[in-house]
Every structure is written in structure tokens, then in C-alpha cells.
Amino acid sequence: MSFRIGLVSVSDRASQGVYEDKGIPALQEWLASAVTTPFEIVDRLIADEQAQIEATLIELVDVEQCDLVLTTGGTGPALRDVTPDATLAVADREMPGFGEQMRQISLKFVPTAILSRQVGVIRKRCLILNLPGQPKSIRETLEGLKDGLGHIIVPGIFAAVPYCIQLLEGPYIETDPEVVAAFRPKSAIKP
């Protein structure tokens, strides 16, 4: 079973070519370092328009058959930040723990992390996660926070992603434990 990942960068200016998108390259680089299971990426760079975000998420799940969709950008309180609204609009179920953990990680760095509206949802058999827009924040959110010796202080959200996808009857995903260790109960670990 192939593992398909949709990447969506939501940015008015990057989608218009005003500046270079940094979200998708940061996600591609992190996934290449963390995920050891072969995967395919389908990416989209779009404007911060709710109808366009909704249509893109639906396409990636329903047509492209992605198992995981990661969005970056458009999660703050500004009037143009509508990524969470679009994500919730296409969701079958919400996974509130993902948003809670993303804010917990970011709060270790900035008090304004409480302004983030990032969400995690399920559409059909796909997990959709709204990530921050900055490459450093993307890595910290996915990987978690480590001390100087590399021990986890605050777990990153990606530690739970492989098991969530497994529960949704998606592919069995493995990660490089040096980057992020996928967590599963012993009964769900395949030899």
C-alpha cells in the first residue's frame, strides 16, 4: 500500500509570486529526514481563500487519495487566515489533541502561540493537519522539543501520526527514531 502525502501552502503573496514559498520545501525536507516508509508527495501552493482551500483539501483526499495532508500558513487570527475554517468545513471528525499539542509546543517559544487556530481533522480515511507557516516552527511542531542531549521534552505531533493513519486503515508508516519516534501500542507494532 503506497503512502501519499498532500502538502498545501496557503499564502496570498507566495501564490502570486511576490516571494518564494518556504512551507512546502520545509515540509518536504523534514519528511525526507523523518519518514523511512516510501511515500509520494502531491503539493499545492494556493491563496488564502476559504473556497479554494476547501476545494484543494477535498481534491487531495477524494481524488488524489492522500493518507495525510499537511497545510502550512493561514492559521492565525487575521481576517485573511481561514485555513482552519476551511479544514473544519471539509472534516468528518475533529482531532482536537493535535491542535492542543501544536500550541503547547509553540508556547515554549512565544506567548502569542495562544493566537494559533491550528486544527487536526479526519476526512474519510485521511488525517489533515494545519501546521504553522515558518520552517523552524514546522520542524518543532512535527518533531517536538528536545534537550541538549536529544531527549524529548515535549513530544511532537508526528509521533502520533503513523498510528492514527494505521487506525484509519491506511499504510503502516515507519519513522527514523533519531528524528521522531512513531508511537504505537505493542499490539499495533508489525515485525
Show the domains of the chain with their CATH numbers.
3-188 (3.40.980.10)
Do residues 147 and 13 make contact, with C-beta atoms less than 8 angstroms apart?
A: no
Question: First vs last Cα of the chain: how many Å apart?
Answer: 17
Tens digit of each residue's pLDDT, the chain (191 residues): 789 999 999 988 888 877 889 999 999 999 999 999 999 999 999 999 999 999 999 999 999 999 999 999 999 999 999 999 999 999 999 999 999 999 999 999 899 999 999 999 999 999 999 999 899 999 999 999 988 888 888 899 999 999 999 999 999 999 999 999 999 999 999 98
In angstroms, the Cα distances linking 47 to 8, 16, 18, 85, 129 are 10, 8, 12, 14, 18
CA distance 106 to 148: 18
